[in-house]
């Protein structure tokens, strides 16, 4: 009895001593780390960047509210650009408790994406936020998992595979079929999204979704996939911009994820079936990879037949292949309808083909078309912003001190957010007419890391050539069919942000 009383008296004391020691230990570690960091910052000549004057510097609620407000007005990108003009090209802030350094400085972006690639990874919130819909794949993983996904994809994008333009011809013809020839209004954006889904599925999975032709065969409807995919990526993008997780998603999101997965699972089943038939040596199924072409899905299925792993990889590449090229085409055609001078110059280039389909080389030689696409991707980048998270203490070269020219210390766990949209509008890079749409500027312009529509460094876009070839091919064939264009959209370009960016009012035109 005496012993028990003594024991119960001792326990709280021991507890307090342990807790005290733990707190003391944490404080000591914190102080030691702060001293080490300030020494390292000094050694590298670092100075702090300006801080965004949030009314709540701990949780950054000011930025969250600002993001919500900008989102409602469709001015998220423009408001970020204005913020840079006010606080400088690099400043620090906080988003729902996460320390952030925001920058539109080419040297910083180059450092994060290439020079110090090993010091950064995808932000954990991106990985978590994208997981429901995309699982693990090239867009959501780092390290060896990412390397493996990228290595599996790369052979799909060799020059020989991209230069085979027959596939584009088929899908562009289907697109042209759906355009009224009497000049009545059509929103090309919807059609472009259908066309890029059809070509990406054929190119990467060996079977087209046939959204445009309507020949669905046994495939689930591509248009249901499209609508659900748009809703889900819109939802994820919105949450991500205000720093909130996608858990507790609403009913429409949950249903949307199911629809999108049903679509991808169709291809997974087909891929596994083809693989099993080949393994048993009785391949009665038409197999695209045996035609000598590399088909991502068929190669992947040789490595794993796990349906979930396969679905994730397919979902990741669908994000890359569908929205991006369709957005480029939509903004390009929206612009062409409003700029008769640009239309006429491209028409002149297209006429040199005398109605023939272009070859890969001929597309590459159409300079004015290329300048126009460069300019579309400059002013309306499809991926307008991005971020990386420091996985160890590191340094970026610009933004510190009152003149912004000193290096900045980036403690482990800090997110470096970069705005490609704002960088592409800098007058010190593009000149005083930076806000004007002027393809001619590309005759002499070489902005290096100041122009980044396709990212840079080891994670540079794998589909760049594929996307530019598809967009050029479609534009040339459309221009050979229609000689005049009129805009049927009174609005200036307005952002439509999901996890990528396109045009809120689409590409409403009249063609004859
Ligand atoms: C105009 C069209 C396109 C633009 C502007 C674009 C832009 C980008 C950007 C900015 C990234 C970096 C994303 C990040 O690191 O967070 C990226 C990555 C990627 N893109 Fe594209 N893209 C386009 C079209 C395509 C197409 C059509 C495909 C494939 C069919 C594709 C495949 C990829 C892949 C696989 C990655 C991931 C690279 C990696 O992390 O290793 N892209 N793209």
User: From ligand 1's centre to the CA of 8, what distance in Å?
Assistant: 63
Q: What is the mean pLDDT of the chain?
A: 92
What is the phi/psi pair of residue 393, to 5°? -60, 135
CB 507 within 8 A of CB 192: yes
Residue 4 confidence (pLDDT): 44
Q: Residues 91, 509: contact at Cβ < 8 Å?
A: no
Encode pLDDT of 202-221 as tens digits.
999 999 999 998 754 455 55
| Residue pLDDT, tens place only, 251-279 | 899 999 999 999 999 999 999 999 998 88
Average pLDDT over residues 460-468: 96
- The residue among 7 and 51 whose pLDDT is bigger is 51
Would strands 120-121 and 186-187 be described as parallel, antiparallel, or unpaired?
unpaired
Distance 386 CA to ligand 1 centre (A): 12
Ligand 1 centroid from CA 436, angstroms: 26
CA–CA gap between residue 424 and residue 453 (Å, rounded):
9
Tell me how far the alpha carbon of residue 111 lies from the centroid of ligand 1, in angstroms. Answer: 19
Q: What is the mean pLDDT of residues 476-505?
A: 96
pLDDT value, residue 245: 64
Q: Which residues contact 447 (CB under 8 A, 6 or more apart)?
A: 106, 429, 430
Protein residue with its CA nearest to atom 20 in ligand 1? 461
Distances from the Cα of 325 to the Cα of 94, 115, 173, 426, 459, angstroms: 33, 28, 17, 25, 18
Nearest-CA residue for atom 43 of ligand 1: 461
State the pLDDT at residue 247: 60
The Cα–Cα gap between 337 and 331 comes to 10
Q: 463 C-alpha to center of ligand 1: Å?
A: 6
- At 319, list the tokens: 């994000």
Among residues of the chain, what percentage have pLDDT more than 90? 79
Residue 87's pLDDT is 95
Q: Taking a C-beta distance cutoff of 8 angstroms, is the pair 368, 77 a contact?
A: no
Q: Which of 171, 461, 475, 500 to mutate to test the pocket of ligand 1 (most atoms within 8 A of CB)?
A: 461
- How many Å from the N-terminal Cα to the C-terminal Cα in the chain? 100
Looking from the CA of residue 453, the nearest atom of ligand 1 is 5
* pLDDT-based confidence at residue 290 (cuts at 50, 70, 90): low
Could you give the CA distance from residue 89 to residue 423 in angstroms, rounded to a whole number? 9
**Residue 405 — pLDDT band, cuts 50, 70, 90?**
very high
Task: Band the pLDDT of 282: cuts 50, 70, 90.
Answer: low
Q: Flag whether pLDDT at 406 surpasses 50.
A: yes
Ligand 1 neighbours by CB, cut-off 6 Å: 138-139, 150, 153, 200, 317, 320-321, 324-325, 328, 382-383, 386, 453-455, 459, 461-463, 466-467
For residues 225 and 259, give the distance between their C-alpha atoms in angstroms, rounded to a whole number: 6
B/e letters for 144-173, b = 16+ CB within 10 Å, e = fewer, are eebeebeebbeebbeeebbeebebbebbbe
**Cα of 349 to ligand 1 centre, how many Å?**
28
- Mean pLDDT score, 445-460: 97
Please report the pLDDT score of residue 249 as a whole number: 65
Of all protein residues, whose CA lies closest to atom 42 belonging to ligand 1?
463
Question: φ and ψ at 187, to 5 degrees?
Answer: -95, 105
Distance from Cα 324 to the centre of ligand 1, integer Å = 8
Q: Which of 168, 195, 199, 324 to mutate to test the pocket of ligand 1 (most atoms within 8 A of CB)?
A: 324
Ligand 1 atom showing the smallest separation from residue 322 Cα: 27
pLDDT at 31 over 70: yes
What integer pLDDT is reported at residue 2 of this predicted model? 39
Whether the per-residue pLDDT at 368 is higher than 80: the answer is: yes
Q: Give the distance (Å) from ligand 1 centre to CA of residue 157.
A: 12
Instruction: Give residue-wise pLDDT tens across range 149-199.
Output: 999 999 999 999 999 899 999 999 999 999 999 999 999 999 999 999 999
Smallest CA separation from ligand 1 atom 6, residue: 454
User: Which atom of ligand 1 lies nearest, measured to the CA of 470?
Assistant: 27
Between 168 and 241, the higher pLDDT residue: 168
Q: Is 79 exposed, middle or buried (0-12, 13-18, 19+ CB in 10 A)?
A: middle
């Amino acid at each position: 009895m005496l012993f028990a009383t003594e024991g119960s008296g001792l326990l709280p004391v021991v507890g307090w001593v342990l807790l005290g020691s733990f707190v003391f230990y944490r404080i000591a570690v914190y102080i030691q780390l702060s001293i080490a960091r300030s020494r390292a910052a000094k050694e590298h000549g670092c100075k702090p960047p300006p801080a965004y004057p949030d009314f709540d510097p701990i949780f950054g609620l000011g930025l969250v509210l600002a993001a919500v407000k900008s989102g409602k007005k469709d001015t998220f990108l423009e408001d970020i650009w204005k913020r840079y003009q006010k606080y400088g090209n690099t400043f620090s802030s906080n988003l729902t408790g996460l320390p952030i350094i925001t920058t539109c400085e080419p040297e910083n972006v180059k450092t994060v994406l290439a020079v110090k690639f090993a010091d950064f990874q995808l932000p954990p919130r991106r990985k978590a936020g994208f997981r429901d819909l995309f699982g693990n794949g090239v867009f959501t993983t780092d390290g060896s998992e990412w390397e493996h996904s990228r290595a599996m994809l790369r052979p799909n994008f060799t020059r020989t595979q991209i230069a085979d333009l027959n596939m584009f011809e088929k899908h562009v013809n289907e697109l042209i079929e759906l355009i009224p020839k009497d000049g009545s209004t059509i929103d090309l954006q919807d059609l472009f999204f259908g066309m890029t889904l059809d070509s990406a599925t054929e190119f990467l999975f060996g079977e087209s979704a046939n959204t445009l032709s309507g020949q669905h065969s046994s495939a689930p409807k591509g248009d249901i996939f499209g609508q659900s995919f748009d809703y889900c990526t819109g939802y994820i993008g919105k949450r991500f911009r205000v720093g909130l997780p996608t858990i507790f998603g609403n009913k429409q999101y949950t249903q949307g994820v199911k629809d999108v997965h049903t679509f991808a699972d169709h291809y997974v089943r087909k891929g596994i079936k083809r693989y099993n038939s080949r393994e048993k040596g009785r391949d009665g199924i038409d197999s695209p990879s045996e035609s000598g072409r590399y088909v991502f899905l068929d190669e992947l299925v040789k490595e794993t037949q796990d349906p979930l792993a396969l679905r994730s990889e397919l979902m990741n590449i669908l994000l890359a292949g569908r929205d991006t090229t369709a957005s480029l085409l939509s903004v390009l055609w929206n612009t062409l309808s409003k700029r008769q001078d640009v239309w006429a110059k491209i028409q002149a280039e297209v006429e040199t083909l005398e109605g023939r389909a272009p070859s890969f080389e001929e597309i590459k030689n159409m300079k004015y078309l290329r300048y126009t696409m460069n300019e579309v991707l400059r002013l309306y980048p499809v991926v307008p912003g991005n971020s990386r998270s420091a996985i160890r203490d590191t340094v970026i070269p610009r933004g510190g001190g009152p003149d912004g020219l000193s290096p900045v210390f980036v403690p482990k766990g800090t997110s470096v957010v970069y705005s490609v949209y704002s960088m592409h509008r800098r007058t010190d890079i593009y000149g005083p007419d930076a806000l004007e749409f002027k393809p001619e500027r590309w005759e002499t312009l070489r902005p290096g890391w100041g122009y980044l529509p396709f990212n840079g460094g080891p994670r540079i876009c794998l589909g760049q050539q594929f996307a530019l070839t598809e967009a050029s091919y479609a534009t040339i064939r459309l221009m050979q069919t229609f000689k005049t264009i009129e805009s049927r959209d009174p609005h200036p370009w307005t952002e439509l942000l999901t996890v990528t960016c396109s045009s809120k009012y689409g590409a409403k035109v009249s063609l004859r």
